Structure 1
Amino acid sequence: MTSERKSRNALSLRTYRAASGMMGPLADLTLKHRLKHGKEDPDRVNERRGIATIARPDGPLVWIHGASVGESLSILPLVARLSVLRRDLQFLVTSGTVTSARLMATRLPDNATHQFSPLDHPAYVRRFLDHWQPDAAMFVESELWPNLIQMTAARDIPMALVNGRISPKSYNSWKQRPDAIHALLSAFQVRMAQDTPNKERLAELSDGDVAMFGNLKMAAPALPVTQTDLSALEEQVRTRPRWLAASTHPGEEEYVLDAHTRVSERFPDLLTIIAPRHPERGEEIAGLIRARGLRVARRAAGEDITADTQVYLADTLGELGLFYRLSDVAFVGGSIVETGGHNPLEPARLRSAILYGPYTFNFTETYRDMRASGGTALVRNERDLAAALVRLLTDDMTRDAMADRARNWAEDNAEEVLINIVEALMPVLPAPHEPG
């Protein structure tokens, strides 16, 4: 890198750091707004300011950071495998959502603890690092916060980018600031992408080596469920034909409701379950459903599924494991609108026949390979979606074969991916701790 480029790098990121440093009042307003809307835990909001609520454990500490539920779930097998290989390690897992925090509270092992990640304000990041003093840091997927990365690197903490992802939109944006993204990615001693397209984008932006062993989410455990909740819903649904539209975004519910109307001509007692990606949209989506003349029950309102219910709106957090288990057929959202698709491995592990739309750039190779195995089917519009639903709800043999192929593909790939990722992380880990 030329000295001129290094200078531009320094200027760009120094400007960001200076600007973010002056935004303490804005950061506080942001936290207050998020608290008001239930997006922060009022008992732990100071963690977002870098103020720890528990003591640092003794011994070498590995910090693993992911944004939300999907990344947090993918961390679990990584922590488990590293714990077996290095029994002296302690783990700090950070994320930024209330749902992921609740999930981690019940699923992390005894040698790991969860904290909310600090907002990317220099003072907050400094407090966080001063308290935790991690011996290694791993950032999962696309959490490229400049202060968090640069201030960690400045302390000579070895860093790895795990399951790296840069969406096409972010890639085009970063290309306008090549020096800044190069500096951020260069802070990582190890860079691993989740698939070939992301490897190519990260390699170009970093101008360095990027490994690719597959998607870490392949190794994540099945989404959890409370058996009492599942039994209650199974009793309400009984033998009705049903399907799930999971993680839907604005603009997709219309496709789902159009498909419901078409399919209900063949199956008058059809139950469509909609689990929006953002449950706070519940009232908005309920309005769309009622405007179609359809009868809706809302989970967030505690409403049961009755014989008259046509659409069940699963507008709650952290319950996808429940609804995937309830439905033999699942459409995975974020894929008919250009969001890039959500994780098909979650329904695959729970033996759902999987449908998806044309926009899957977040999981390009996963969808491609799973479709080649016969475990998924592409639907491009509401007519395709309705036709696929009629076939799968009519033909038990086809539906079961599709679900089995999806689950087998997910299971067959999980172990190899995890082994290779863990091996690549070994150079970043602290030296083994010798008990005194």
Structure 2
Amino acid sequence: MTLLLTAYRAVMAAFHPFASQVMAGRLRAGKERPERLPERFGRATAARPVGDLIWLHAASVGEMRLLLDLFGGLREQCGDVRAVITTQTLTSADLVAKLAPPGLIHQMAPVDTPQSMGRFLNYWRPSALVLAEGEIWPGMLTEIRKRGIPSALVNARMTQSSLRGWMRVGRSARELLSSFTFIGAADDTTRKGLETLAGTRISVCGNLKQAVRSKPAAAERIQDLRTALKKRPVCLAASTHPGEEAFALTAFSHVRKQRPDALLIIAPRHPERGDDILSLARSFGFTSRRRTADPAHPDPELDVLIADTLGEMPLWFAVSDGVFLGGATADDVGGHNAMEPAALGRRVLTGPNGFNFVDMFRDLRVINALEIASLPEELSAFWLREIGAPPLEQEGVERLLQTAQEARSETLSALCDLMSGARRHA
């Protein structure tokens, strides 16, 4: 182990007694739930099933949905696969509860101390670990390597800035990356950077998030909502972050000058922000309410609906006239998956800071499925153009989805090999 990794392990071990104070602060801030706190220290709140079990780990919603999709593929290709999935955010935890297929258990991710990671691994005894994107935790990988557990990094994606950061600790980065039996890069920039860091060949599978299809909303739910809306134009601001709601509300103010009957639906990335967004919308003078406070369909007097729920995004895509996709107008998020609304027939406008989705956004722009803009006036013009426009043609989208499916198949094959090897050496 390098001196830096040895120091990291020592510091985290010393930090462990104080981790409960950090978690108490997160609890007060609404970022944790008391019944889930034991999981942060590796104490299980669910029974481990008998037999082989893989550990899936994701940071938040997008990575979690990617791993759920791969888990479904593994069950189809490799038989009776069971897994424990860990995530960092409450939003992802709630969504797992709604979407989890049979054979999957959710736990909050343990803090990266030797004590918490050791306790987690001693209980769950995973036969393999699969990480998504950039979730590289030194303590986790050190404990995994000590136990000889094979691991994979799928959809690896790093910006030039994060790669430069890893380059500064090159020997430690190489040691951590050597823990992985398989690494699949989401793009060529990441591949080149990881090959330099790891000193070995990295596979370019492509961005697997393009292969994750949202299940369409039920036809009767779509029809019920459309009937209630009575042909009102619907502007959608999806997966928004702080600052992006004000951007969307400013644009919507311009839309209302020409279409006073228009409705704005804001579906924030983190639904727990619903109260703050409600206050913001009312400060613009709009009649507004939260979906969780009143699940009834919007009435004619409602200007802004705060869709602070989970699992309903396909419904909002279905009834909208155009989608403003958040995450790329904010400075440090990097964008969100624009393929989801495009695959459901909706054109997308997003901001200029989509550094995590450069290839996807480029490909969608080529087929006129996506626009990039930085001014509220550009968003209002987009929404006005999309009102009453025909749905996005799917031929180009389907070509992109087919390419993504090939990347998904390549990744699933590698993961099946990983699991087979783990069983042979168990």
Partner of residue 326, structure 2: 333
Deviations 1:35-76 (A, max 9, x none): 344433433331221112333323332222112222121122
1:116 is the counterpart of 2:136: no
Question: Which aligned pairs between 1:202-221 and structure 2 lie closer than 5 A?
Answer: 202-221=194-213
Partner of residue 146, structure 2: 154
Partner of residue 355, structure 1: 349
Deviations 1:203-242 (A, max 9, x none): 3333332211112222324157588876664454231001
**Alignment-mate amino acid for residue 423 of structure 1:** S
CA distance in 2, matches of 1:406, 1:54: 44
8 Å contact kept, 1:276–1:315: yes
CA distance in 1, matches of 2:203, 2:153: 10
1:261 is the counterpart of 2:228: no
CA distance in 2, matches of 1:178, 1:273: 46
Partner of residue 321, structure 1: 314
Question: Which aligned pairs between 1:65-76 and structure 2 lie closer than 5 A?
Answer: 65-76=57-68
- The SS at the match of 1:118 is coil
Question: Which aligned pairs between 1:255-404 and structure 2 lie closer than 5 A?
Answer: 255-302=247-294, 305-338=298-331, 339-394=333-388, 396-397=389-390, 400=391, 402=392, 404=394
CA distance in 2, matches of 1:154, 1:432: 15
CA distance in 2, matches of 1:331, 1:181: 37
Query: Under a length normalisation based on structure 1, what TM-score does the superposition of the two structures give?
Result: 0.88
Partner of residue 122, structure 2: 130
**Alignment-mate amino acid for residue 364 of structure 2:** M
**Which consecutive unaligned segments of at least 5 residues does structure 2 have?**
none
**Alignment-mate amino acid for residue 319 of structure 2:** L
- The SS at the match of 1:355 is strand
Between the aligned residues of both structures, percent identity stands at 37
Residues 295 and 369 (structure 1), Cα distance of their counterparts in 2 relative to 1, 3 Å cut: same
8 Å contact kept, 2:78–2:416: no
Residues 403 and 382 (structure 1), Cα distance of their counterparts in 2 relative to 1, 3 Å cut: farther
* TM-aligned CA deviation for residue 294 of structure 1: 2.5
8 Å contact kept, 2:87–2:93: yes
Query: Under a length normalisation based on structure 2, what TM-score does the superposition of the two structures give?
Result: 0.89
Deviations 1:295-345 (A, max 9, x none): 222224337533222222223444423322332311111112333111112
8 Å contact kept, 1:275–1:320: yes
1:42 is the counterpart of 2:31: no
8 Å contact kept, 2:211–2:408: yes
8 Å contact kept, 2:57–2:86: yes
Question: Which aligned pairs between 1:244-259 and structure 2 lie closer than 5 A?
Answer: 244-259=236-251
CA distance in 2, matches of 1:48, 1:227: 40
CA distance in 2, matches of 1:241, 1:375: 20
Deviations 1:143-193 (A, max 9, x none): 111111111111111111111122344334333333332322221121111
**Alignment-mate amino acid for residue 333 of structure 1:** G
- The farther-off stretch of 270-279 and 30-39 is 30-39
1:102 is the counterpart of 2:94: yes
Partner of residue 165, structure 2: 173
Partner of residue 410, structure 2: 420
* TM-aligned CA deviation for residue 21 of structure 1: 1.2
* TM-aligned CA deviation for residue 374 of structure 1: 2.5
1:31 is the counterpart of 2:14: no
Deviations 1:78-137 (A, max 9, x none): 222222332254322222233333333343333332222211121110011111111111
Residues 256 and 182 (structure 1), Cα distance of their counterparts in 2 relative to 1, 3 Å cut: same
* TM-aligned CA deviation for residue 379 of structure 1: 2.3
**Alignment-mate amino acid for residue 332 of structure 1:** L
- The SS at the match of 2:394 is helix
- The SS at the match of 2:129 is strand
Residues 254 and 108 (structure 1), Cα distance of their counterparts in 2 relative to 1, 3 Å cut: closer
Cα root mean square deviation, aligned: 2.6
8 Å contact kept, 2:43–2:120: yes
**Which consecutive unaligned segments of at least 5 residues does structure 1 have?**
1-8
- The SS at the match of 2:163 is helix
**Alignment-mate amino acid for residue 335 of structure 1:** A
